[in-house]
């Protein structure tokens, strides 16, 4: 029994030994030639741009197979084939047409299964001004120092690309892509892996579902389409558009962000110009947004939170059940919602609000026109100035107004079943068990109408 165990150890050591072959070849090419690499799998290589008009292969091939006869034939027949035609140089790796395998007689050699492992590693140097096209599969590829058009096809690779100035297309499903100090007009397609871009000169389009996407410092336009992703983008000098359902999105310092669309997740946008946010069940946080006077900010959501901090823009919000917060916002607000809390602090701009079951509270509000329609829950306003128009209709909720300046104008306070309180001199037009109506007339141009059905009304001028 001991002899059999020793023999097994020796046999598997021999099987794992494998073979190694060094491949060093030089192929002259004319300046500006097209270089094409046909489908190549399992490579661990670096492709480097050079000022020389030649393609240089400096590779090491490792091949290990349980079929040692096939292993030998594979190594002997493996070679680089060049096909030339009209300025196009196509390279492919040729190997034996035979296949390795396992048969019944291998049992007597203590071989119980078939395997093969191949590794091709090293460096390929190509002219830096050549157009380059490749089809890599399941390899680790580094590409650096190329100036002309680049098209990379394939899948399952780990791609690292540096200092390549004219990227046109990358296809790499189920593989990672890392770009640094590159440029071009690039369409990048992948899925289920990481995408990293740092310093890109030109326009960039990314289509990458189920991926972690990080993009920084793009001197051009950016478009991202994804889903179920983690997205972080910063420092974009052109326009940007992001469509990514079920994602967590963090965007900062984008010159012009034209549109963000998602169904659910979180959204943080900091610094820049923002035009449109369309979501469904999102937590939205917008900070330091500044739009030109002619550009409004449109936000659409169904449920979640919407928080705007130091935003300068006219804003329209179409929502259903979110909680809304406005901090130091400068611009008119047009709000449509069903329920939730609406809180504002130091807002400067007109308020148009059409809600149903929302509570509204604005502190230190500066507005010329305030138009609020609600059904229940309170409306509370603390006003820094005297608006020209205040029109509040809150059917089953109260209306509570505090004015930090002296009032001048006309006021009508109307409540069917609620109480009315004010510290201004007033005239009771009608007061009964079914109706309270007060009128106040002071010198000035302000026109105030506040109406409830069962809610109380308070209108106080603060000393």
Q: Residue 70 — pLDDT band, cuts 50, 70, 90?
A: confident
pTM here is: 0.89
Residue 419: CB partners within 8 Å, gap ≥ 6?
436, 456, 457
What is the CB neighbour count within 10 angstroms for residue 434?
A: 7
Q: What are the extents of the domains in the chain?
A: 19-125, 332-463
| Number of helices and strands in the chain (H, E) | 2, 39
Helix (H) or strand (E) holding 239: strand 230-245
Predicted confidence (pLDDT) at residue 295 exceeds the cutoff of 50: yes
Percent of the chain surpassing pLDDT 90? 77
Three-state DSSP class for residue 15: helix
Residue-wise pLDDT tens digits, 162-206: 999 999 999 999 999 999 999 999 999 999 999 999 999 999 999
Query: In degrees, to the nearest 5, what angle opens at C-alpha 292 toward C-alphas 288 and 296?
Result: 85
| C-alpha dist (Å) from residue 75 to 13, 63, 118 | 20, 7, 10
How many CA atoms lie within 13 Å of 300's alpha carbon, on the beta-carbon side? 10
Listed range (185-189, 199-203, 356-360, 418-422) with the worst mean pLDDT: 418-422
Residues 6+ apart with CB under 8 A from 405: 383, 384, 385, 386, 461
pLDDT digits (tens, 9 = 90+) for 232-245: 999 999 999 999 99
Task: Lowest mean pLDDT of 70-84, 165-179, 330-344, name the range.
Answer: 70-84
| pLDDT single digits (tens) 222-275 | 999 999 999 999 999 999 999 999 999 999 999 999 999 999 999 999 999 999
Give, in order, the Cα–Cα distances in Å from 186 to each of 75, 150, 162, 164. 38, 9, 14, 11
């Amino acid at each position: 029994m001991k002899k059999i165990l020793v023999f097994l150890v020796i046999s598997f050591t021999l099987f794992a030994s494998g073979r190694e072959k060094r491949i060093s070849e030089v192929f002259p090419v004319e300046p500006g030639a097209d270089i094409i690499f046909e489908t190549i799998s399992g490579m661990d290589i670096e492709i480097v741009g050079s000022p020389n008009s030649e393609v240089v292969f400096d590779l090491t091939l490792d091949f290990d197979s349980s079929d040692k006869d096939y292993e030998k034939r594979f190594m002997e027949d493996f070679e680089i084939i060049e096909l030339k035609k009209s300025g196009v140089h196509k390279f492919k790796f040729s190997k034996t047409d035979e296949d390795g395998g396992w048969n019944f007689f291998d049992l007597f050699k203590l071989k119980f299964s078939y395997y093969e492992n191949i590794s091709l590693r090293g460096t390929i140097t190509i002219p830096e001004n050549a157009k380059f096209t490749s089809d890599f599969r399941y390899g680790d590829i580094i590409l650096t120092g190329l100036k002309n058009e680049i098209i990379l096809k394939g899948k399952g690779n780990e791609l690292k690309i540096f200092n390549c100035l004219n990227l046109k297309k990358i296809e790499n499903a189920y593989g990672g892509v890392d770009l640094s100090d590159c440029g071009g007009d690039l369409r990048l397609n992948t899925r289920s892996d990481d995408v990293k871009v740092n310093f890109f000169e030109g326009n960039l389009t990314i289509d990458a579902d189920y991926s972690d996407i990080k993009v920084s410092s793009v001197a051009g336009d950016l478009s991202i389409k994804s889903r179920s992703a983690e997205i972080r983008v910063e420092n974009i000098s052109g326009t940007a558009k992001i469509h990514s359902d079920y994602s967590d999105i963090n965007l900062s310092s984008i010159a012009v962000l034209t549109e963000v669309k998602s169904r659910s997740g979180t959204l943080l946008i900091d610094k820049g110009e923002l035009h449109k946010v369309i979501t469904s069940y999102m937590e939205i946080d917008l900070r330091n947004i500044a739009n030109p006077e002619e550009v409004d900010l449109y936000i659409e959501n169904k449920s979640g939170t919407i928080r705007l901090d130091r935003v300068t823009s006219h804003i329209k919000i179409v929502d259903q059940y979110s909680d809304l917060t406005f901090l130091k916002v400068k611009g008119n607000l047009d709000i449509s919602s069903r329920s939730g809390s609406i809180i504002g602090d130091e807002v400067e701009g007109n308020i148009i609000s059409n809600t149903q079951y929302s509570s509204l509270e604005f502190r230190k509000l500066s507005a010329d026109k305030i138009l609020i329609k609600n059904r229940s829950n309170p409306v509370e306003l603390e006003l820094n100035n005297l608006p020209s128009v205040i029109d509040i209709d809150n059917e089953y909720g109260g209306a509570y107004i505090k004015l930090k300046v002296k009032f001048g104008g006309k006021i009508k306070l109307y409540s069917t079943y609620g109480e009315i309180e004010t510290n201004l001199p007033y005239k009771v037009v009608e007061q009964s068990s079914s109706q309270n109506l007060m009128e106040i007339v002071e010198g000035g141009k302000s026109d105030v109408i506040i109406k409830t059905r069962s809610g109380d009304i308070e209108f106080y001028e603060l000393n």
